Structures are given as C-alpha cells and as structure tokens.
Structure 1
Amino acid sequence: MNIKTKFFTYHCFNSDNTYTLDARNLSLEDVQRLLKFEEQLNGSITSLLCLESLTDFEQQELSQIRNLFRSYYAAGKISEGQIKFLFLAPLMKLAGFYHFNIKITLEENIADISVEDEDTNIKGRMDILAVSKTQERIVTTPFWILVIESKNSSFNALEGLPQLLTYAYKSLENQTSVWGVTTNGMDYQFVYLQQGNPPIYQLLPKLDITRSESSIELLQVFKSICQL
C-alpha cells in the first residue's frame, strides 16, 4: 500500500489534486521517504555540545522537578498538558529560555510542506518552538533554536520523532541545523538535524529525568542549546 492509498481514507483531494496529510499520522518510515531524511546514531552528546557544571541552585531546582515528576508518575498517566506545564516549562526557565532575546511559541502551525513528486502537502502543529529574537533575524527569517514535541507518559518518547522531524524540516531551508527533543515527561530524546542532500538527523542518547545523573545531563543539554 503506497502513501497515497494509505491516507486517502481520511484525507480528501484538494482542488489542485494534491493530498493533504496530517503530520500526526505519519510514521517514521513515511517521513524518511517523503522528506528524504537519513538517520544517524550518535552515542556522545558532548561531540556536539559543551556541557557546563550546574550551580547548587540549579541542582536544587532540578531535584524538585525530578521529585515532582516521580509523584505524578506514581499517581498514574501524566497528560501532555501536564508535561508541558509542570516539567518542560520549569526546565526551560531554569535553562535560560525565558529571556527577552528568545520567543517561545505554543501550538504553532507549520508552513505547509510540499512534496512535489508525491503531489502531497503536509500540515501540522508543533507543541513548543523556541526562536531567536535577535534584531537582524526577527525581521527576515526567524532562527529556530529548539523544537519540542511532547506525548503523554504512556507513550514511548520516540513516538513523537516523526512529528518532530516534519515540523523542523522547513527550518532547514533557512539555517544549517536545528535542535529538537521529543519527550513523554520521563524520557527525553534529543535530535540534531542538519541541512544536506539528504538532510540528516542524529539521535543522541536518551536521558531520563527520574535518574539523578541523567537529569543533570538533561538540564546541561537544555542550557547548552539555549546558549548556542
């Protein structure tokens, strides 16, 4: 079954005889085929980022976030909204993303992606996007710093990867690389996307907020990306 047949049951033809696909319904195989992404595995986060030690204050705040997650997780499934509000927002604030030079947007529609040889358009809406607001960039083409896709705690964090890749794809038309992370609140899968023919995405080691050393590295990664 090809991609057109697969999605015809719930996506109709537009007047220009192209299919419109929802990014939420794409598999990783679909994304790799339609957008030509090539996957690479990278076992070392420090090959791409310089990680700085955390201050005592940052470690205390991180410990509170970690303990809060444990308490919610023990009580049952954690929703996407709770993950964004209770865990992602504090982590991003602690990492420095709440700064006047950075704009955070929520539930942002992506520009339509046209796949010409498939007569296909892809639409979607990303969960969280951090964009640089430096004067020279905001007037012309915003520079994407970090794209975040969240799932509720019952999902594997990697299930958000097809959406994340789709949402970040358009940014590579205007910048050489962009960072992304997909999470279920517990596990954080960072992805480094690069321009190229084909475009490449590197999967970094997964980080777990419930483990002390892993959560420290998680905040270090957020901080390093914020400072790029």
Structure 2
Amino acid sequence: MVRLKNRYLLLDILYPDSTTWPSSKTGFSGPHAAQLAIHAPTSDALTPGLLAKMIREEVGEMYGDWGVGKLGGASAMGVQVKYLSPATSTAIIRCPRASFRLVWSALTYMSHVPAVTEPGTGAGQRRPNGGRERPCVFRVLRVSGTMRKAEEEAIRRARREIVRVRGVEEKGVLGDLISGVERGKAVVTSVMDVSEDEDEGMFDDDD
C-alpha cells in the first residue's frame, strides 16, 4: 500500500496597512496597539473552503495547468485547510509533499482577504464585483510533516505573543511608576522607610 506523504504549512495573516486597522473604539489602544492591529482578527467571510480555492486559483495563475496538476487537479483535494481561526488569523494547510513549495509561493503572492466593513469606515477596497477585499500578508511560519508539530508551533507562538504584549504593558506601567517617583520622591522615601522597618521583623535573630 502506497502512503501519501503530505506537508502542513502553519501561517498567519498580517495586516500591515494601517488604514485598515480597527479604530481605538474597538479596544486597540495603548502601547501594544500596533502589535495587536497587525495581528487583527480576520473576517468570518474567509472560510476554509474559500481559502483553499484562493490558493488553487493562485497556483493556477502562476504555474498554469502544470501547477494545478501538481496539486492533484482543480477539483481534487490536494490542498486542504485543516485549521482556520479568524479570531487569531492563523491557519494550517495540508498539501502534497512534492508541491508544498508551489503552495508556499502562491501564499507569498496572495495579498487580499474578504473583508466585511461597516459603511463609511473606509477599510478595505471595493472590487469590480461589488465585494470588499482587505489588504494583507500571508506569512508561512513553519512547514511540518505532521499536524501535531504544526499545532505545537502555533501554540508556542501564541504564548510568545501573549508574553510580548504583557511585557509592553508592564513596561508602560513601570514607566508610570518611575515618573511618579520623580514627581514625588519625598512620598516614596517615606514609604521605603516603613518597608525597611517591616522587613526587620521578618527574620529571626536565632541562628
């Protein structure tokens, strides 16, 4: 029995165009606003089936019938989106091992996703077919031979982003504390004196 070998591409969707970032009214404010805006959620209009179709069409446009054939044909399931999270703009795509570079290159040249925007917001670009598309960048983070490895990498990167955002928040809080110290050194000095007195009672003299 022949075993079909696949590759799993972990990717995220970035929005570097600041004109399409959500406004501060939606909660994107503070020192980490730009970081969160670049990793903003994707519209629910982007479904796994639509993303797979977009990849196949891009491969066909770049490599013609030869590229589509390498994926198994236009109607085949050579490219499958195994995981798609609009909230985190993360996806895992499965494709044949022999043609994962075609999929990777197609993702590199894909520059838009469907966008559902409120009237008057200006986000997205109106297309001739009447729909809206939001400029974006597809970034491949990892190519793995198993689904589990791709999932572990996605979890690791999500944790790292959370730590990074929290670090920015803590840095901003510390900056406020430092400025407060400079504005009220007398108050801080008195607090430190009280703290030293309390610390003296925390240790026993018996050795």
Short-chain TM bin: under 0.3
TM-score, normalised to structure 1's length? 0.24
- The structure with the largest alpha-carbon Rg is 2
Kindly indicate which of the two structures has a greater share of residues assigned to strand: 1
Higher relative contact order (CA 8 A, sep 6+): 2
Q: Which has the higher helix share?
A: 2
- Normalised by the length of structure 2, the TM-score is 0.26
